[in-house]
Amino acid sequence: MLATLIAIPVFSFLIILQSTIVNRMTLLQGTADLFLLTIIAWSLHRRVKTAWQWSVIGGLIYTIASALPFGVSLAGYIIITSLTKFMRRHTWQVPILTMLILSFIGTIFLHGLSLLAIKLSGNPIPVVDAIGLITLPSILLNLIFAIPIYAIINDLANWLYPEEIEA
Amino acid sequence: MNTTTSRSLQTIVLVLITLGLIGLALGGYLSPLSRLFVNPIVQAQAWITSRYQAVQSILSTSEDTQVLRQRNAELEAEVSRLQTQIIELQQQISETKILSALVDFARANPEYRYQAATVVATDPSPFLQYVIINSGSDNGLRRGMPVVTQQGLVGRITGVTAGAARVQLITDPDSSVNVRLEPSGAKAMITGQITGDISLEMIPQEADVKAGDLVLTSGLGGGFPPNIIIGQVSGIRKRDLDLFQRASVQPVVDFSQISIVLVITNFKPIDYSPLIPSE
């Protein structure tokens, strides 16, 4: 229960960080996505059992804070969580490499979903420009942020799910 | 008797010798003698005093150092407190300047009522150009209200909660504002770009537009009040085959540095969407 509830202050802190500092640290128009990286890092941890809850809480908080069409980020984070869990089952011993691969794939997927939703809502956003100016720089920033976020979230997961020593 | 006389004589002799010595001393005849006697004493006194002071200094140094260190720490704490105060005062001066300019703007446009608000965050999505302000429905804000600074148009409110509101900037790709160019008087439309810039679209081919022309809201469409400055035309693209001219605009507002804004609370946007015939 604590592992689920702690997602609320964690994502509340992250939304403050994202909307005040991280969004101003741009590369062209791209920014890092702390929510995406946190959800991937949390879902990658072996002993974590609350990955779905975290993706739902993260998605809801992001939805409240953003003007993106309702449910886009929620759906995006749930799909990325399922992809992360799938990758975790099929890769061995190198979670940091999986983290980087998922950061790459997750950014492309989430941006694709956001662009699709924005387009469908009638916003005349130029897709090619958006990919060049936002998605590609964001991938690079997410790859840079992936390692520190992984380390912090891994520590949090180890604290909440301590390793059981067999007698 | 003899003893008494002898003592009196001794006393008189001593007084005479004393008076004689005083007389010699006052006359300066004893100076070489006194120098010979006093100088070694003075030198000895100086040597002993200097050694005493040196020893006293060594013995009292640790206490002094401690006092000095303590004083140094106190002064450093004082310096950092004053530096913090300076930064706070500089921020207050900066805010006061902005507020003063906003008050000037409000005085220059007395037909509107304003609600000042601070920009507290930006939209977390990089695809959207929105900011969050710290005033909401509790302060009388409603959807569609225009947002300005002392420099010019910022955007409009698209979402309101009790204590906050979301403002769509005119740089958002989904934003469009009907404008008028001065001095030509041509009507056109400003649209936001994904780069965070704004561009001028739908300028009639026959319009005489030049770099440096002012771009102001026209009031058409009912979304914004008229005559709010947006920027200046910086470059024109005119091709004979196109239906309209295009131009790039240098906005007067620096959207990356907005901190305090004014919401025009007595402007009601007109929703004419029911009048648009459905396809």
CATH assignment of the domain containing A65: 1.10.1760
Looking at beta carbons, which residues of chain B come within 8 Å of A113? none
Domain boundary (B79, B108, B137) is at B108
Q: Residue B83 domain-assigned?
A: yes
Query: Which CATH number does the domain housing residue B233 bear?
Result: 2.40.10.350
Q: How far is CA A75 from the centre of its chain?
A: 12
Mean pLDDT (whole number) for A118-131: 89
Residue B121, classed as helix, strand or coil, is: strand
- Model pLDDT, residue A143: 95
- Model pLDDT, residue B6: 84
Structural domain including B85 reads 30-108
Q: Residue A166 domain-assigned?
A: no
Model pLDDT for residues A85-110, shown as the tens digit of each residue: 998 888 766 788 899 999 999 999 99
Residue A68, classed as helix, strand or coil, is: coil
Neighbours of A143 (CB within 10 A): 17
> Which stretches of chain B score pLDDT less than 50?
none
- Model pLDDT, residue A167: 55
The nearest CA of chain B is from the CA of A124 a distance in Å of 6
- Model pLDDT, residue B269: 82
Structure tokens belonging to residue B53: 């002071």
Distance (Å, rounded) from C-alpha A59 to C-alpha B189?
Answer: 36
Residues B127 and B263 in one domain: yes
Residues B82 and B201 in one domain: no
Structure tokens belonging to residue B8: 């009196």
- Model pLDDT, residue B278: 64
Q: Whole-model pTM? A: 0.74
Q: Residue B160 domain-assigned?
A: yes
Residues B261 and B150 in one domain: yes
Residues B149 and B178 in one domain: yes
Residues B68 and B126 in one domain: no
Q: Residue B23 domain-assigned?
A: no
How does the average pLDDT of chain A come out, rounded? 90
ipTM over 0.85: yes
Q: In a 10 Å sphere around its CB, with 0-12 CB exposed, 13-18 middle and 19+ buried, how is residue A35 labelled?
A: buried
- Model pLDDT, residue B279: 57
Interface of B with A in 217-276 (CB under 8 A): 256
Residues B251 and B143 in one domain: yes
Q: Residue A66 domain-assigned?
A: yes
Residues B96 and B158 in one domain: no
Residues B152 and B176 in one domain: yes
> B127, A18: Cβ pair inside 8 Å?
no
Q: Residue B132 domain-assigned?
A: yes
Q: In a 10 Å sphere around its CB, with 0-12 CB exposed, 13-18 middle and 19+ buried, how is residue A14 labelled?
A: buried
Domain boundary (B108, B129, B155) is at B108
- Model pLDDT, residue B210: 87
Q: Residue B8 domain-assigned?
A: no
- Supply the DSSP symbol for B256: G
> A29, B158: Cβ pair inside 8 Å?
no
Q: Residue B24 domain-assigned?
A: no
- Model pLDDT, residue B190: 93
Q: Residue A145 domain-assigned?
A: yes
Q: How many domains, chain B?
A: 2
Question: Which among A60, A155, A63 is positioned nearest to A117, based on CA atoms?
Answer: A63
> B126, A122: Cβ pair inside 8 Å?
no
> A68, B125: Cβ pair inside 8 Å?
yes
Interface of B with A in 171-210 (CB under 8 A): 173-174, 191, 194-196
Looking at beta carbons, which residues of chain B come within 8 Å of A134? 126-127, 194
- Model pLDDT, residue A136: 95
- Model pLDDT, residue A13: 92
- Model pLDDT, residue B52: 80
The residues, any chain, with a CB within 8 Å of residue A114's CB and separated by 6 or more, are: A68, A72, A73, A76, B125, B127
- Poorest-confidence range of A18-27, A30-39, B23-32, B83-92? B23-32
| Closest chain A residue to B256, measured at CA | A24
Residues B188 and B262 in one domain: yes
Q: Residue A164 domain-assigned?
A: no
B interface test, pick of A22, A62, A66, A138 with most B CB neighbours within 10 Å: A66
Q: Which of B121, B124, B195 sits opposite A133 (nearest CB)?
A: B195
> A67, B120: Cβ pair inside 8 Å?
no
Residues B77 and B129 in one domain: no
A interface test, pick of B127, B169, B176, B190 with most A CB neighbours within 10 Å: B127
The residues, any chain, with a CB within 8 Å of residue A82's CB and separated by 6 or more, are: none
Looking at beta carbons, which residues of chain A come within 8 Å of B159? 67
Q: Residue B121 domain-assigned?
A: yes
Structural domain including A28 reads 2-159
Residues B151 and B246 in one domain: yes
Q: How many domains, chain A?
A: 1
Looking at beta carbons, which residues of chain A come within 8 Å of B194? 29, 125-126, 129-130, 133-134
Counts of helices then strands in chain B (DSSP H, E): 2, 12
Residues B89 and B130 in one domain: no
CA angle B125, A61, B133 (to 5 degrees): 65
